[in-house]
Amino acid sequence: MSKSRRDFLAQTSFGLLGAAVVSNASAQLRPDASTQEPTQLPPGAPPAFGTGPAVGPEVSPATFAEAEKLVQINLSTADRAQVAASWRVNLASVYERRTGPRAVALEPTLAPFSRYHSVLPGQPAGPQRDQRGRGVGG
């Protein structure tokens, strides 16, 4: 006997509601759940975007209005205000890694990371002379 969609949706809704009630009740029974700070990550957990401390200089919507000229985009006034308000938490830390107190100075003579040599040290880079034979008919 096939059930209707209405029966399916009713049973699913009740199941989700029951799971939410049980989850809420179990969270209230654990006393240690309320003592953990929501911003404190467990050891080894990767940081989530926008949850770090605010770093870098304060910026205003006027700063982003000037930056729009450089990158040739147009933001609305509301978008500029939102970007200025969230800059220090969301993106300033990315630039702080390059220019901040923990920046690493790289020498100009340092080889780039993507440089690749397929020759072992001490080995010749290629054949000493052309080893190709004469072609057919030639």
CB-count exposure of residue 34 (10 Å: 0-12, 13-18, 19+): exposed
pLDDT at 86 over 70: yes
State the sign of the Cα–Cα–Cα–Cα dihedral 85, 90, 91, 94. positive
Q: What is the mean pLDDT of residues 43-70?
A: 83
pLDDT at 89 over 70: yes
Q: What is the mean pLDDT of residues 41-56?
A: 75
- Name the least confident of 21-25, 54-58, 74-78, 100-104: 21-25
Please state, as a whole number, how many other Cβ atoms lie within 10 Å of the Cβ of residue 87.
20
Widest CA span in the chain: 90
Answer whether 71's CB lies under 8 Å from 33's CB: no
pLDDT in tens, 10-41: 777 767 777 777 666 665 655 554 555 556 76
Tokens of 57: 């200089």
pLDDT in tens, 94-128: 777 677 777 778 888 887 777 677 888 888 877 77
DSSP symbols for 83-132: HHHHHHHHTHHHHHHHHSTT-----TTSPPTT----S-TTS-SS-SS--P
